[in-house]
Structure 1
């Protein structure tokens, strides 16, 4: 029986200690694909992915770097996308933040090699310049109840802090029931001082993360555009949903515009992952949402995004757990038990 699915590619922060060895565990059969990525790394004077993935020790300071995390996540995600069972029909592809680059390759708008070049180039540029930082803060309730009033309050606070002299702060990613804010040290510190600590961990700074999806990244976008040609881009094989919720259709995509969005708006403006997921649900009505590996942390944001629109009767965390037990809506390939239900 064929099942339709929207494929979701995760972004930074998903290759952690538990994921060390992900490529070796799950994708030993994709030696040719990984060898191509390793060759690009070696040509750039960088450590090979297979060596990084095969290391015996994980350190946050090393593996959270943009020039290491981004290519490892891309390779893991794309290899997962190539491992889906024949009974899975991908009707659309989207991604979160850096996952947009992987989504381009998974949907066929970039070749596997060119997608890797984009990811490795942008991840390296981000790390070299490391402009600003990011933090995460929730606005939804404990059962994922949407709280638009609290969300508005937090965004209003961020906007006010951004008006202060030498303070930069803006919404980086709309992420289900959470806000990812980005800015300079003054802006981030002021926000941290202005909000209560939640669950003993929020607001949470993200290690080695720059101020993604804000105007602070304009120099990175400009350098990326100078290094990465629009000629790499082609028509997608399946619909692509970007960080505005806009759909890029096979046969109807302006390749120059796709390049311009990818290395322009996508880098310097807010990434609305919530809208991307909700538009995917409403436009394509899939049987499943499949979040590729590495990691499983993006699943909550996907579920919260769907709960906000009461997708298939799921209005909160309790509903979601019941539905998952009966007939899963969401599969995380980073979870071995779930993975087996969608792989060949």
Structure 2
């Protein structure tokens, strides 16, 4: 099977070479906790222009989550992958959380708790109030809270003491252990200097102290800095029983595998794009078959690095693009019009790498849909 794809000199015939990863129903992994941060599907008939309130295709959005659950993955709901702060407004977020939590099997869901209902500058008390409002929604649906990094807090905080005031209050208030969230500025430039320092060592020391002083209220921390050495350094300093959830979409195979000391669990946007491969790799890890684990996972890394390439915050476009190619949504549209966040050549490279990674689950459908994209883009192929 072949098609013509854009290259710097024009169009080039590409022959598909990948063998799709076997589909099936999987049990949740026993050796690792694994969350896929899922995207939302836009209603193609809704006004999802930039700045407009999100109009969500609930049927396909929820069907995608059922698909992830069927593969044994848990769902990290209403995270940055779902376009928090980039198209998904708080009203739609609340509905997303309630609908998704209402279908989640065995509590296999954690939900983002943030401050994105705030508009404009906010004082610390207002930041706390916004977090409290969202925490109440998570607790109302009995979902595990993920205390998301907050743009408003980053803007309002004058020192690490202000972060400590906010997080101590929220951890004391939460009725169940939370997942903390350390998102680097490559994912959101407004989070530069989070935790009160531009130094990783200083920020890490702050986070470790925060966790040690609230250990009964912290299940784990998700770190997304795209630097494996940073993650391992933090992982080795966490108190026993506190999990490190990798958010490193560049280095996840080695981090999840771990070393002689510790391993990372997973809370990853890339798992939404490579869900069959993630399920198969985790099954191999459960059985101790590291060769199979590597065979399945390693080909997905070039794809992940492509999807999360700079500007990294547009990775959501690649997630939705692959969901469309694989038949999980009827059109390549996104809330906020974010389908325009990546160029046609970028998407062509994503297609090639997805094929080579074996995550085009129906290659004929994927080829047909990419040809449609070429035609609507004005490319005669």
Shared fold, TM over 0.5:
no
Q: Which has the larger radius of gyration?
A: 2
Normalised TM-score (structure 1):
0.29
Normalised TM-score (structure 2):
0.27
